[in-house]
Amino acid sequence: MDMKTSPIATLNDAGLLKTQALIGGEWIAGAAHFDVNDPATGLKLAEVPNLGTPETLDAIAAADKAWPAWRAKTAKERHAVMMKWFSLIVANADDLARILTAEQGKPLAEARGEVVYGASFIEWFAEEAKRVYGETIPTTDNGKRYIILKQPVGVCAAITPWNFPIAMITRKVAPALAAGCPVVIKPAEQTPLSALALAELAQRAGMPAGVLNVVTADGANSVLVGKALCESDAVRHLSFTGSTEVGRILMRQCAPTIKKLSLELGGNAPFIVFDDADIDSAVEGAMISKYRNAGQTCVCANRFYVQEGVYETFIARLTEKARGIKVGNGFEPGINQGPMIDGNAVAKVEAHISDALAKGARVVVGGARIDDRFFTPTVLADVSSEMLCTKEETFGPLAPVMKFRTEAEAVALANATEFGLASYFYTRDVGRIFRVGEALEYGMVGINTGLISTAEVPFGGFKQSGLGREGSHQGIEDYLEVKYLCLGDIGK
């Protein structure tokens, strides 16, 4: 692959490479800009506007202005616009995948999978728009009737991470639009091009001006944009996906205006393999759960607990599979794992490995960086609970494996964290499936599978992994207010 030319210089539709922000239906050039770079090569891909407080307030005002007409549309009319958007995303999946791989790094096939996954949230909530039902409640006073309505909450803000540049946006924007809410999106500074391409397709789908806005900003200005979104009383809901640390900051900033909050935060997923598990299935699940997106997903298995009877076998088979992962530029054929998002991400994996080795772990395979951008798929054995890799989210291709003896020990080890997003376990014992499934303190439990995410289910976590659920029929509730009408004088 020619490393000197931009991988997105040759899109089928060059109009999808947008390098301006979208506010009130207008593309905004902005006075200042920041670079978007390819994490695999460091090559500059584009410049986008580095916006701040004034433009954020403009976007909020544009959304507020657009809200009455958007909420006045029937659910079926909103459905139609959303389904047109869905169709355009699917039709342009190849270009969207190229843009995604260029700015985030994941292999092209994985990027295309994310485009389809992201689009599925728009399709799902376009349908859910038509099922926002109210209710009547049997009266306790014959002179009165009790009627319950559900109404859109208002202007929504979405702040999203770099690891899924399309799906983390559509998982928030789709339920908001379906509910009748306009949105202001602040995408991650590393991956704004995917957000802008989505916005271009929304425009083509007939999304009215101001209903969907994208404010781009670099790391420093993201703080200002976030503050403006949190402090605005016109913004009635803030949805954030990212680190727990930033989630705390945003939650604190939203307190003065009592906003509805949806928080999808950090994880520390345990992956438990019992003696009676199908080991080949467990290894298959471990591979997808651990090494997808180079281990940079919030639901990645972060620590492996393997019962003593199958410990050596599991490690041997996982190691063999991990050795087979081809690391490189996501645009190259046959590559299974792309670059880390940046040098800090590489350094964090290294730090977790160094800490583990210093405390008695051993490297079975991998353990080394490949220049400043890539990291070899790694398996550690003889891991113990004092090691950082069992306490912190590594967010990289590192599989630390620890031995356990009893079911109770495995559950206690798995639950010993402030996080509670995803968890996984493998067993063929139906009683154990219920005992362990019910005992794990996690919002999501993969049982005999390492791939659990889909638009139809409630995605979210317990404890400090967040608030609320995205996807499923529950996912639209955060964007709705429940209103109670009490009708009197019925007997007159």
Ligand X SMILES: NC(=O)c1ccc[n+]([C@@H]2O[C@H](COP(=O)([O-])OP(=O)(O)OC[C@H]3O[C@@H](n4cnc5c(N)ncnc54)[C@H](O)[C@@H]3O)[C@@H](O)[C@H]2O)c1
| Chain residues that interact with ligand X, rule: CB under 6 A | 159-163, 168, 186, 188-189, 222-223, 226, 241-243, 246, 249, 264-267, 298, 393, 395, 421, 466
Q: What residue 267 binds from ligand X, ligand LB4VBGO6, none (CB within 5 to 8 A, per partner kind)?
A: ligand X
Q: CA-CA distances (angstroms) from residue 431 to 126, 279, 436, 443? A: 39, 19, 9, 20
Minimum CB separation of residue 300 from ligand LB4VBGO6 in Å reads 8
Q: Which amino acid is at 171?
A: R
Minimum CB separation of residue 332 from ligand X in Å reads 25
Minimum CB separation of residue 39 from ligand LB4VBGO6 in Å reads 16
Cβ proximity to ligand X: between 268 and 376 the closer is 268
Distance in angstroms (rounded) separating the CA atoms of residues 440 and 146: 40
Distance in angstroms (rounded) separating the CA atoms of residues 132 and 154: 15
Residue 164 binds ligand LB4VBGO6, judged by CB under 6 A = yes
Token output for 373 = 């951008």
Q: Is 454 helix (H, G, I), strand (E, B) or coil?
A: coil
Find the part of the chain contacting ligand LB4VBGO6 (CB under 6 A) among 174-182, 291-299, 342-350, 426-434: 291-299
Please say whether the beta carbons of 470 and 313 come within 8 A. Answer: no
Backbone φ and ψ for 401, nearest 5 degrees, come out as: -115, 130
Cβ proximity to ligand LB4VBGO6: between 328 and 450 the closer is 450
Cβ proximity to ligand LB4VBGO6: between 50 and 170 the closer is 170
Interface of this chain with ligand LB4VBGO6, residues 144 to 163, rule: CB under 6 A: 163
Distance in angstroms (rounded) separating the CA atoms of residues 292 and 315: 18
Please say whether the beta carbons of 347 and 392 come within 8 A. Answer: no
Helix axes 244-254, 219-231, angle to 10 degrees: 40
Please say whether the beta carbons of 418 and 435 come within 8 A. Answer: no
Please say whether the beta carbons of 389 and 348 come within 8 A. Answer: no
Q: By rule CB under 6 A, what count of residues binds ligand LB4VBGO6? A: 7
Cβ proximity to ligand X: between 168 and 335 the closer is 168
Residue nearest to ligand X (CB): 226
CB burial of 350-369 (b: ≥16 within 10 Å; e: otherwise) equals bebbebbeeeebeebbbbeb
DSSP 74: -
Give strand pairing partners of 184: 157, 213
Cβ proximity to ligand X: between 6 and 243 the closer is 243
The question of whether 264 is a catalytic residue gets the answer: yes
Interface of this chain with ligand LB4VBGO6, residues 414 to 473, rule: CB under 6 A: 453
Q: What residue 159 binds from ligand X, ligand LB4VBGO6, none (CB within 5 to 8 A, per partner kind)?
A: ligand X
Pseudo-torsion of CA 102, 104, 109, 115, nearest 10°? -100
Residue with token string 């995605």: 459
Helix axes 167-179, 75-91, angle to 10 degrees: 160
Cβ proximity to ligand X: between 160 and 427 the closer is 160
Cβ proximity to ligand LB4VBGO6: between 114 and 218 the closer is 114
Minimum CB separation of residue 444 from ligand X in Å reads 10
Q: CA-CA distances (angstroms) from residue 59 to 187, 367, 445? A: 14, 46, 38
How do beta strands 145-152 and 362-365 pair?
A: unpaired
Cβ proximity to ligand LB4VBGO6: between 297 and 319 the closer is 297
Catalytic residue of the set 55, 123, 264, 470:
264
Binds ligand LB4VBGO6 by CB under 6 A, chosen from 50, 190, 232, 297: 297
Q: What residue 265 binds from ligand LB4VBGO6, ligand X, none (CB within 5 to 8 A, per partner kind)?
A: ligand X
Nearest to 228, CA basis, from 87, 57, 44: 57
Q: What residue 453 binds from ligand LB4VBGO6, ligand X, none (CB within 5 to 8 A, per partner kind)?
A: ligand LB4VBGO6
Cβ proximity to ligand LB4VBGO6: between 232 and 241 the closer is 241
Half-sphere exposure of 253 (CA within 13 A, CB side): 21
DSSP per residue over 437-452, as a string? HHHS--SEEEES-S--
Residue nearest to ligand LB4VBGO6 (CB): 453
Binds ligand LB4VBGO6 by CB under 6 A, chosen from 299, 301, 322, 440: 299
Element (H, E) at 88: helix 75-91
Q: What residue 249 binds from ligand LB4VBGO6, ligand X, none (CB within 5 to 8 A, per partner kind)?
A: ligand X
Minimum CB separation of residue 92 from ligand X in Å reads 23
Minimum CB separation of residue 188 from ligand X in Å reads 4
Question: From residue 165 to residue 204, what is the string marking binding to ligand LB4VBGO6 with x (rule CB under 6 A)?
Answer: --x-------------------------------------
Token output for 108 = 């092209």
Nearest to 301, CA basis, from 371, 373, 402, 370: 402
Please say whether the beta carbons of 400 and 377 come within 8 A. Answer: no
Distance in angstroms (rounded) separating the CA atoms of residues 69 and 144: 32
Interface of this chain with ligand LB4VBGO6, residues 223 to 242, rule: CB under 6 A: none
Find the part of the chain contacting ligand LB4VBGO6 (CB under 6 A) among 32-40, 182-190, 294-302, 324-332: 294-302
- Site residues for ligand LB4VBGO6 per CB under 6 A: 163-164, 167, 297-299, 453
Q: Which residues are catalytic?
A: 264
